[in-house]
Structure 1
Amino acid sequence: MLSSLFLRLLYQIISNRSVEVHNLRATNGPDLVAFMNDMEFNITTISSMSCSQLRSLGTIFLGNPGSIDYRVAPLSTFANYSCLNTSRGPTVSLRCNNCPLGRDNVYISWQFIDLPGQPASAVAFEFNLTARNPAQKKHMSLVSGTVRNGTDLNDMPLAFRGMGTNILKFNLFPRVYQNLHNLKLVQPLFHELVPGSFIRDANALQASLQNPTNGLMNTTLHINFLSDYIVEIDNQNILGPVSFLADLGGLYCISIGIFFYLLVQCEYRIKRLRNEDQVFRNIRSRRKAQDHWDKLRKYVMYTWGPSSLLEDNHNFSGNGCCDCAGGASHRKGESLHKRSRQEISLRAISFDKKDSSRKGMVGKHLSEPTKSLKDVNIPPPPTLPEFNGSSNVDVSDIHKNLKDLYEYNTMLREKLVDTQSMLRVLTNKYPSMASEVQT
Structure 2
Amino acid sequence: MNKAISKASGLKKPLGIYIHIPFCISKCSYCDFLSGPADEGTINTYMDALVKEIEGNRNLGSRFFVDTVFFGGGTPSIAAPLKIKAVMEKLKEVFEFDESPEVTIEANPGTITEKKLMIYREAGINRISMGLQSTENEELKLLGRIHTYEEFLEGYRMAEKCGFSNINVDLMSALPGQTPELWAKTLERIADLDPAHISAYSLIIEEGTPFYEWFQDKEGRNCPPLPSEEEERGMYELTKRFLEARGYCQYEISNYAKEGFICRHNMGYWRRKDYLGLGTGAASLIDNVRFSNTESIPEYIENCGSPDSIHKATQNLSVQEQMEEFMFLGLRTTEGIDKEEFDRVFSGKFEAVYGKICEKLEKEGLLKGYSRKPGRICLTGKGMDLSNYVLAQFLLD
Larger CA Rg, structure 1 vs 2:
1
Bucket of the pairwise TM-score, normalised by the shorter protein: under 0.3
Q: Which has the higher strand share?
A: 1
TM-score normalised by structure 2 residue count: 0.17
User: Higher helix proportion, which one?
Assistant: 1
State the TM-score, normalized to the length of structure 1: 0.15
